[in-house]
Structures are given as C-alpha cells and as structure tokens.
Structure 1
Amino acid sequence: MSHTGGRWLVLLIGLGVVGVGVGMMVQAVLKKFIDNLHMAKMNAHTRRTVETLGLMGILARGGVFSVLGVFLIIAAATFDSKEAQGLDGTLRKIATTPFGPWLLVAVALGLVIFGVYSFFEARWRKTEPG
C-alpha cells in the first residue's frame, strides 16, 4: 500500500470481494444454483438434501468472502497493511472476537456443508450448453 494508488486498489479489491460474497449469498437465497443441476434426475429426498446443503453451504462461503473483503476495506481505510488478511488471517481475527470460537465452528461447519454440496453438484451438474 506504499505505492501511489495502492490504498485505493486495496479498497476496490475489498469492495469487489465483499460484492462477490454478497452475490453468492443472494444467489443462495434465490436458489439460483438449482438452475445448474439436473434436479429431475434426483428423487425427492435427494432434491431436498441438495437444496438445503446448497443454501447453507453457499451462504457460508459467501459470508467468508464478505468478511475477507471487509478486512481488506479496513486495511485500506486505516492505511495499515497489517490489517489486510488472507483467509487464514481472517479466521484468526474472527477467533479473537467474544463469540470467536462459536463463529469458527459455524464457519467450519458451513464450509464442510459446502464441500458436501459440491459432491452432489459434481454428480448432477448440467454440462451440456443451453
């Protein structure tokens, strides 16, 4: 951030990462991920499972992206490059908050759920164009 415009670049990247995270969460709530899956080939129980895992997992992933972007924005606003964190640094910052351990458990479970959803997505993802 010592370069001319570096602070603004970090701010723009942070805003972009927050935007991506919020976009993921909106897509999850609107269940847009279903459009990319062969839902008709699943039985009713599998469909409900995939919808639930997709919603929860994509929400968690979007939340992690959003928090990461917020730390980048804070780094740009305070002009402190030490505030800019990767995913590991973001999780460490979360751990220092009063509800840190519980938040980390929630993040971990959410990312595990996203991983499980990804297996379903790999199995039933639409691959043909259109």
Structure 2
Amino acid sequence: MRDISAHVPSPPPKWVENFARVGLTAKGVVYCLVGILAFMAAFELGRNSSNGAGKQGVFQFILEQPFGKWLLGIVALGLACYAIWRLIQGVNDSENKGDDAKGIAKRLRYIFSGLVYAALAYLAAQMVLGNSGGSSGGGDSRETLAAQLLQQPFGQWLAGIVAIIIIGTGIYQIYYGLSDKYKKNVRGAGLKHEVEEKMVRMGKIGYVARGVVWILIGYMFLKAAMQSDPQEAGGSGQAFQFLESSSYGSYLLGAVAVGLVFYGIFMFMRAKYQPISTSS
C-alpha cells in the first residue's frame, strides 16, 4: 500500500480536516433523517413507509423540500468529502495504522467505507440532476450487484461471500460500540463530564443499531445467494420493512430508528470535536 500512497499527492492538512468535518456532518444529517423517517413509518406517523426510509428515501425526502435540489446538492458534496477523507485515511495512512496485517485491514476498511459513501454521493448527485435512475427502488443497487454476481461462474459462492462480509461488518459495528472503542473519537474534547457521557452512550446505541441494519442487509443478500434470486437482496429500506413485519415490529423498528438518530447526533459530535489526523 506504500507503493500506492507514493502516487497520491499529500493534501494540505487544513484541507483534509475541513473535508473530514464537512463529511461527518453530512453523514450525521443523513442518519438523523433515516432514523426519523423510519420512526415515523414504524408508528404510522405521516405517509412514510418503512421501505422508503432508507438512504435513497432520505434523498427523495430532501429533494421534495423547498430548495430541495440545493439542499441535496450540499448533502451530496458533504458525502463526497467524507468519501475522500476515508480514502485518504486508507491510502495515505493518515492515521498511522502501519503496514502490518492489522494496519492494512483497518486501512482497507477505510477504503471500503470511502467507496460506499462515494456511491451514495453519486446517487444523490444523480437525483439532483434529475437522472431517472435515481428514482429506482432503494434496494436496486444491491439487487443489481447480486444479479451480476450470480451470473458469474460460482456465482452463488461469490454472492455468499459478499453476504458474509456484510454480516461481518454489522457484527463488527456492534462489537465496536459495545467495546467502547469509538470513545477515542470524542474523549478529551473539553466537554463537561455529564454531557460527554450522554453523548458516548448515544454513540454506543447508534453503533449497535447500525450494526443490526447491516446484519439484516447481509441476511437478505445471503438469501439471494442461497436461492439464486437477486430480488431477495435489499438495502436499509428493505431491512426496516423486515423488522416491521416481525413480531412487535413497530417497537423493534422504532428502537432501531432511535438508535440511528443517536448515531447521526454522534456524527455531529465527531465533526465538532474529533481530532483529525492529517499526517501521511
């Protein structure tokens, strides 16, 4: 990875920090809105459905507000900033994770995150530009991916591996929250102890809720692999729908929705207080 980073120009430190903070803020906005729309769908407040409470549903919601194209454009730009920061973390090793197995694994996780949010930024930008592709269902991108994988030799195995990676990501999110590893992002920020503790608890609940959603998305992708049916795959909207259709579904979905709002608030806290490493 050092060979790759040698060809990537080192950006000015302030530039990196600004991109990180703008990106974390945009991520917070998206997750807060996802949680709010999912909560409204859980308890039938308004006309929202759980299927429309995913990230694409949030983009559509923003687009329908006054000055919606401008607002969604700002969100798209913020998500692009977040993606670029994550790629810098992974390629330039700005967090000094190193080149051993553990360090490379963490840097690959940053790169994966960057690519995911780059795709979200692209989707938001397409919707701003009025591209008809942006109006498709929230799970279409995963259905397309599942369909492409299933068409390959050993396609079911490939799709199954992707599903396991998604589920593993969800399990790691829950572990990350319960192990308190996330606290380093806000500790020592100069907040009052009571405020800091409340925000840290929000982060814990948020990471667990996010992990649950990832696990459900992975489960649906695994069903698509096992049944060789790409339509079984879905995104966060379909994950919410799955929760809502289970026993005590409204309460389960409501709990996850609140957790996602907490996660969004924790992103705002990170945007304001997290020390951003800009070394390379």
Partner-residue secondary structure (3-state), 1:41: coil
- Offset, 1:46: 1.7
Q: For 2:188 and 2:163, how far apart are their aligned partners in 1? A: 35
- Offset, 1:3: 3.3
Deviation string 1:91-110 (CA, Å, 9 cap, x unpaired) is: 22222222222221112111
Pairing of 1:60-75 with structure 2 (within 5 A)? 60-75=209-224
- Of 34, 47, 57 in structure 1, the residue corresponding to residue 196 of structure 2 is 47
Deviation string 1:75-120 (CA, Å, 9 cap, x unpaired) is: 2122222211111122222222222222211121111111111111
Q: Which residue of 2 is the match for residue 121 of structure 1? A: 270
Q: Structure 1: which amino acid aligns with 2:269? A: F
Q: For 1:90 and 1:8, how far apart are their aligned partners in 2? A: 22
Q: Which residue of 2 is the match for residue 37 of structure 1? A: 186
Q: For 2:244 and 2:190, how far apart are their aligned partners in 1? A: 42
Q: Normalization by structure 2: what TM-score?
A: 0.44
Q: Which residue of 2 is the match for residue 17 of structure 1? A: 166
Deviation string 1:2-32 (CA, Å, 9 cap, x unpaired) is: 4322222211111001111111111111111
Q: Which residue of 2 is the match for residue 103 of structure 1? A: 252
Report if the CA contact (8 A) 2:221-2:232 is conserved.
Answer: yes
Give the gaps of 5 or more residues in structure 2.
1-149
Report if the CA contact (8 A) 2:189-2:274 is conserved.
Answer: no
Identity %: 25
- Of 154, 158, 176 in structure 2, the residue corresponding to residue 5 of structure 1 is 154
Q: For 1:122 and 1:41, how far apart are their aligned partners in 2? A: 14
Partner-residue secondary structure (3-state), 1:39: coil
Q: Structure 1: which amino acid aligns with 2:183? A: I
Q: Which residue of 2 is the match for residue 86 of structure 1? A: 235
Q: Structure 1: which amino acid aligns with 2:191? A: M
Q: Normalization by structure 1: what TM-score?
A: 0.89
User: Larger relative CO (CA 8 A, sep 6+): 1 or 2?
Assistant: 1
Give the gaps of 5 or more residues in structure 1.
none
What RMSD over aligned residues (CA atoms) do the two structures have, in Å?
A: 1.7
Report the structure number with the largest CA radius of gyration.
2
Moved over 6 A (4+): none
Q: For 1:118 and 1:40, how far apart are their aligned partners in 2? A: 14
